Amino acid sequence: MFKPLKWKFTLSIFIAALLVWAGCANISVLPSKKKTSVSKAKSSAESKKIIEEKLEAESKAQGTTYVAREERKKKISDFCKKIDKRFTKYGWGRSKCENYPWNFVRTSVKSDPLIWMNFGDESAKRKETTIILCGVHGDEITPIKFCFDILDHLNEIASNKNKKHNADELKNRLVIVAPIVNPDSFFKKWPSRTNANGIDVNRNFPTRDFNSTAMKIWTNRYKKDKRRYPGKKAMSEPETLFQVNLLKRYSPDKIISVHAPLTMLDYDGPADRHSGGVVGSSANQLLIQMSEQAKGYKIKNYPFFPGSLGNYAGNERNIPTYTLELPSSDNRKSKKFWKLFKDSIHSAIMHEMTKEIDVVHDKSKSGSNSKQN
Ligand SMILES: [Zn+2]
């Protein structure tokens, strides 16, 4: 009887000592934890303040309205509800818009937020940066769902929930997705191509030929087609300014702009290895790869126009610019389109423009499949 009692006594002393030690350890850890979170909170509050001041100054300089942080939160929440309503109408399910920490600085003509989302490695010194734009023409509705599918895909990868890819793939990469560049025209009862001022925001970029030819081409070639009106002044529209500022802010290595329904893949930018160096060669290789991964989707050299993104970014600034024209704006085909282009888009995001792919393979392909420059 005596022995078990002694054993129990020893054990309880041991447990008590352990508890005291754990308690002490806890006490000694807590203050430093608190200190770290307080200093973090302080520095993040300071950086938020700096960002806000910068945004306010930027808006003032550009003559646009500055929207304060709290107001932005409310606007995004309302905007997401609006998006979900449309998604339900088109049978697309939930957009998951509410789940993303959107960026937003300026608003459309009718005061909807012009949103974008970043995925990947913002702090990396050298990163492959891709900008993806959808909904530039609001009546092309499938590209908008397409961008939300891209967001879903990237979100799965970033949170390691994708079966084929993991978050490491986004290392040294930054992906910017702006899913609804022209919300005013998308949210109309009958969506239109032009924005609320009746201007085509893919003809309103400040290209060098804008002043001399934009109006002439619109009058003579397009017989004043209202759907293609470039506006009297380049970059007169907030939706154009939004796109230009994204390019300035992030200096992308490539741009993917999604439209419908021309059923083709178009490329503007450094032409080939001969005239465009490594980037030209790499960009063309990617073009062929994107087509091949989408069952040989048609590559076509579509001309660029005064005030178009292809002209502004691809032609004048040598940024490889890919225009993916989906086959239609039929909302019922959205799932099919995403399935067809998922691999192409993934490869395009991961592709590094400074790296040339197998040159021998490149040459053998370019003889038969590349677009005619
Ligand atoms: Zn379009």
Percent of the chain with pLDDT over 90: 68
Lowest mean pLDDT among 26-40, 49-63, 190-204, 254-268: 26-40
Residue 292 confidence (pLDDT) above 90: yes
pLDDT (mean) for 5-26 = 43
Residue 356 confidence (pLDDT): 75
Task: Tell me the pLDDT tens digit for each residue of 139-155.
Answer: 999 999 999 999 999 99
Question: Residue 22 Cα, ligand 1 centroid: separation in angstroms?
Answer: 64
Task: Tell me the pLDDT tens digit for each residue of 34-62.
Answer: 444 555 556 677 777 877 888 788 777 77
Domain ranges (residues) in the chain: 46-369
Question: Residue 209 Cα, ligand 1 centroid: separation in angstroms?
Answer: 21
Residue 358 confidence (pLDDT): 59
pLDDT (mean) for 229-250 = 97
Residue 271 confidence (pLDDT): 82
Look at the chain and count its residues: 373
pLDDT (mean) for 231-245 = 97
**pLDDT band at residue 75 using 50, 70 and 90 as cut-offs:** very high
Residue 73 or residue 67, greater confidence? 73
Task: Tell me the pLDDT tens digit for each residue of 328-359.
Answer: 999 999 999 999 999 999 999 999 998 876 53
Residue 58 or residue 200, greater confidence? 200
Question: Residue 200 Cα, ligand 1 centroid: separation in angstroms?
Answer: 9
DSSP secondary structure code for residue 77 in this structure: H
Average pLDDT, the chain: 85
Residue 160 or residue 373, greater confidence? 160
Give the three-class secondary structure for 113. Answer: strand
Tokens of residue 11, six digits: 């054990």
Q: The pTM is what?
A: 0.82
DSSP class per residue in 242-273: HHHHHHHHH--SEEEEEE-SS-EEEEESS--H
Question: Residue 313 Cα, ligand 1 centroid: separation in angstroms?
Answer: 16
Question: Residue 140 Cα, ligand 1 centroid: separation in angstroms?
Answer: 6
Question: Residue 55 Cα, ligand 1 centroid: separation in angstroms?
Answer: 30
Tokens of residue 42, six digits: 């302080």
Q: How far apart are CA 81 and CA 143, in angstroms?
A: 19
Residue 36 confidence (pLDDT): 47
Give which of 319, 340, 331 is closest to 133, Cα–Cα. 319
Domain 46-369 fold: Aminopeptidase (3.40.630)
Question: Residue 278 Cα, ligand 1 centroid: separation in angstroms?
Answer: 30
Cross-strand bridge partners of residue 264: 325
Q: How many CB atoms neighbour CB 224 within 10 A? A: 10
Question: Residue 182 Cα, ligand 1 centroid: separation in angstroms?
Answer: 11
Question: Residue 280 Cα, ligand 1 centroid: separation in angstroms?
Answer: 25
Question: Residue 260 Cα, ligand 1 centroid: separation in angstroms?
Answer: 6
| 342 within 8 A of 282, measured Cβ to Cβ | no
How distant is the alpha carbon of residue 151 from its chain centre?
8
Question: Residue 96 Cα, ligand 1 centroid: separation in angstroms?
Answer: 24
Residue 1 confidence (pLDDT): 42
Question: Residue 303 Cα, ligand 1 centroid: separation in angstroms?
Answer: 14
Percent of the chain with pLDDT over 70: 82
Question: Residue 199 Cα, ligand 1 centroid: separation in angstroms?
Answer: 13
Question: Residue 134 Cα, ligand 1 centroid: separation in angstroms?
Answer: 9
Question: Residue 297 Cα, ligand 1 centroid: separation in angstroms?
Answer: 18
Task: Tell me the pLDDT tens digit for each residue of 96-136.
Answer: 999 999 999 889 999 999 999 999 988 888 899 999 999 99
